[in-house]
């Protein structure tokens, strides 16, 4: 039997409403459903056990949990922090674990000798593009998307999915009934309900970040060490990148750092509104930018965001395996040659500031300090201003 003849199918599984629905739906179509959950460290051990129990309850043929924190750090977090830009200037690409999930699913499909891959993405969002393009770029696979299929006949898909599961004896957790929740090492995103209606998020629309009344009284201060643009230590302790991010998530979430509401232009043209919480990523971006600003040249700091924005757009829109992304990463990596040092971060709540920067590569002029002292004279300053502004000055003289 060839892979294309197999009745085994690998389902990227999160345990939420959509992927829970997919299991009995696929089984009733004759598939042997094998679920894969890519755990990047964003869920607790209790939640991980709940997901595994959920897969068993739904009657999967097999379930596999992959530890993916190290891969997520290497393949996404490191170049994303190098880039230093959110999508449309804000969103920190918390969905980028999707590419890791695809890799884990394809590896499981190879073990089962099948070319059938399933996901629980809707036909309205970006994730379907990310999943499908990531799969198609790595081989000849059959992609099955049950949620897209039922949308042809049912406009209120979440209500239909819930009823479908309940009539077969499978319960749905209360929070899943109201919101679509995605959680991983990068952070938490919530959509659905009043969020989709552009209304104020309800009390249930909260993930890791503590509300204002629960913030500690004492400020938080941490020290992040970088080597060639990659975070390698926290408060002097050398740690794997995924562990650094996990600790930053826990520390800064207590102060409500990294929570925001975002409306973005999706790949297919709709407006998408979410609540997101990314305390660790936001802290890393602040620290890395402060170090870059001090060690890169003026021209590097001006030009690099153009490359970064394109890299972010490619990742957001599903072109994770496009060769242009690799080309851009080569530039980003080269820009980090001197981005080494330590940054002290401080927060009292909601925002985080880089209050101190230490590096052997600081571009500090020995004989001059901005707005304080200089090792050049009045004539040199006046001559520079005259030549630097020549074009604008001539225009003004000619057109008076």
The residue-averaged pLDDT of 191-204 equals 91
DSSP 8-class letter at 42: -
What is the bridge-based pairing of β-strands 142-144 and 237-238? unpaired
CA angle (284, 286, 290) in 5-degree steps: 115
> What is the pTM (predicted TM-score) of this model?
0.89
Tell me what the pLDDT averaged over the chain comes to: 92
* Residues of the domain holding 110: 3-178
Sheet with 220-227, edge to edge strand ranges: 237-238, 230-234, 220-227, 341-349, 351-358
CA angle (346, 352, 358) in 5-degree steps: 55
CATH of the domain at 11: 3.40.50.620
Q: Assess contact for 325 and 314: CB atoms under 8 A.
A: yes
Judgement on whether residues 28 and 155 belong to the same structural domain of the protein: yes
Judgement on whether residues 33 and 132 belong to the same structural domain of the protein: yes
Q: Assess contact for 205 and 190: CB atoms under 8 A.
A: yes
CATH of the domain at 347: 3.90.1260.10
DSSP 8-class letter at 209: S
Cα–Cα distance between 79 and 83 in angstroms, integer?
6
Judgement on whether residues 227 and 353 belong to the same structural domain of the protein: yes
- Tell me, yes or no, whether 235 lies in a domain: yes
What are the tens digits of pLDDT across the range 281-300?
A: 999 999 999 999 999 999 99
β-partners of residue 263 are 273
What are the tens digits of pLDDT across the range 57-80?
A: 999 999 999 999 999 999 999 999
β-partners of residue 237 are 234
Distance from chain centroid for Cα 272: 16
Judgement on whether residues 150 and 294 belong to the same structural domain of the protein: no
Q: Is the pLDDT of residue 272 over 90?
A: no
| Assigned token pair, 113 | 């000798």
- Tell me, yes or no, whether 98 lies in a domain: yes
CA atoms within 13 A on the CB side of 106: 19
Judgement on whether residues 398 and 342 belong to the same structural domain of the protein: no
Helix (H, G, I), strand (E, B) or coil at 376: coil
Q: Is the dihedral of CA 197, 203, 208, 213 positive or negative?
A: positive
- Tell me, yes or no, whether 200 lies in a domain: no
Q: What are the phi and psi torsion angles at 149 (to 5°)? A: -65, -45
Q: Which of 124, 152, 178 finishes a domain?
A: 178
- Tell me, yes or no, whether 188 lies in a domain: no
- Residue 313 has a CB neighbour count (10 Å cut-off) of 15
Judgement on whether residues 164 and 232 belong to the same structural domain of the protein: no
Cα–Cα distance between 180 and 128 in angstroms, integer?
15
In the prediction, which pLDDT does 42 show? 67
The residue-averaged pLDDT of 11-21 equals 93
pLDDT band at 153 (very low <50, low <70, confident <90, very high): confident
Judgement on whether residues 384 and 352 belong to the same structural domain of the protein: no
Report the share of the chain in percent with pLDDT over 70: 96
The residue-averaged pLDDT of 123-128 equals 83
How many domains, in total, are found in the chain? 3
pLDDT band at 97 (very low <50, low <70, confident <90, very high): very high
- Tell me, yes or no, whether 207 lies in a domain: no
Judgement on whether residues 166 and 234 belong to the same structural domain of the protein: no
Cα–Cα distance between 154 and 147 in angstroms, integer?
10
Q: Which of 161-165, 203-207, 219-223, 370-374 has the lowest mean pLDDT?
A: 370-374
pLDDT band at 400 (very low <50, low <70, confident <90, very high): confident
pLDDT band at 51 (very low <50, low <70, confident <90, very high): very high
Q: Is the dihedral of CA 159, 273, 128, 73 positive or negative?
A: negative
| Assigned token pair, 190 | 């919530």
Q: What are the phi and psi torsion angles at 100 (to 5°)? A: -65, -40
- Tell me, yes or no, whether 186 lies in a domain: no
- Tell me, yes or no, whether 135 lies in a domain: yes
Judgement on whether residues 123 and 162 belong to the same structural domain of the protein: yes
- Tell me, yes or no, whether 305 lies in a domain: yes
The residue-averaged pLDDT of 38-54 equals 86
Judgement on whether residues 306 and 348 belong to the same structural domain of the protein: yes
Q: Is the dihedral of CA 27, 29, 34, 40 positive or negative?
A: negative
Judgement on whether residues 49 and 126 belong to the same structural domain of the protein: yes
- Residue 65 has a CB neighbour count (10 Å cut-off) of 17
Q: Which of 46-50, 215-219, 349-353 has the lowest mean pLDDT?
A: 46-50
E-state strands within the chain: 8-12, 32-39, 62-67, 116-118, 142-144, 180-184, 187-191, 220-227, 230-234, 237-238, 259-265, 271-277, 341-349, 351-358
Judgement on whether residues 326 and 354 belong to the same structural domain of the protein: yes
Q: Which of 131, 153, 178 finishes a domain?
A: 178
């Amino acid at each position: 039997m060839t892979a294309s003849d197999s009745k085994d199918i690998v389902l990227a599984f999160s345990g939420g409403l959509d992927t829970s629905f997919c299991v009995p739906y696929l089984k009733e179509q004759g598939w042997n459903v094998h679920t894969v959950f890519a755990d990047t460290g964003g869920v607790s051990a209790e939640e991980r056990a709940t997901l595994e129990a959920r897969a068993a309850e739904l009657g999967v043929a097999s379930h596999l949990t992959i530890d993916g924190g190290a891969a997520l750090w290497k393949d996404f977090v490191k170049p994303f922090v190098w880039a230093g830009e959110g999508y449309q200037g804000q969103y920190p690409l918390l969905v980028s674990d999707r590419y890791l999930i695809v890799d884990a699913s394809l590896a499981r499909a190879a073990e089962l000798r099948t070319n059938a891959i399933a996901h629980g993405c809707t036909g309205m969002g970006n994730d379907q593009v990310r999943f499908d393009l990531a799969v198609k770029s790595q081989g000849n696979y059959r992609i099955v998307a049950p949620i897209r299929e039922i949308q042809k006949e049912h406009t209120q898909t979440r209500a239909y999915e819930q009823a479908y599961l309940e009539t077969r004896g499978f319960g749905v957790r209360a929070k899943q009934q109201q919101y679509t929740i995605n959680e991983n090492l990068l952070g938490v995103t919530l959509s659905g309900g009043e969020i989709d209606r552009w209304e104020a998020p309800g009390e249930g629309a909260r993930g890791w970040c503590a509300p204002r009344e629960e913030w500690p009284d004492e400020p938080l201060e941490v020290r992040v060490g970088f080597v060639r643009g990659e975070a390698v230590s926290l408060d002097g302790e050398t740690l794997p990148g995924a562990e650094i991010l996990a600790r930053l998530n826990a520390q800064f979430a207590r102060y409500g750092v990294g929570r925001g509401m975002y409306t973005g232009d999706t790949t297919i043209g709709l407006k998408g509104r979410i609540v997101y919480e990314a305390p660790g990523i936001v802290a890393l971006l602040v620290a890395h930018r402060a170090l870059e600003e001090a060690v890169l040249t003026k021209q590097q700091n001006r030009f690099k965001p153009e490359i970064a924005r394109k890299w972010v757009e490619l990742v957001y829109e599903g072109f994770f395996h496009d060769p242009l992304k690799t080309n851009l990463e080569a530039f980003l990596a080269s820009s980090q040659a001197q981005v080494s040092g330590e940054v002290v971060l401080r927060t009292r709540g909601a925002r985080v500031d880089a209050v101190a920067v230490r590096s052997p590569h600081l571009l500090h002029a020995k004989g001059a300090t901005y707005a304080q002292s200089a090792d050049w004279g009045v004539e040199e300053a006046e001559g520079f201003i005259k030549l630097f502004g020549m074009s604008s000055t001539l225009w003004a003289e000619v057109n008076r």
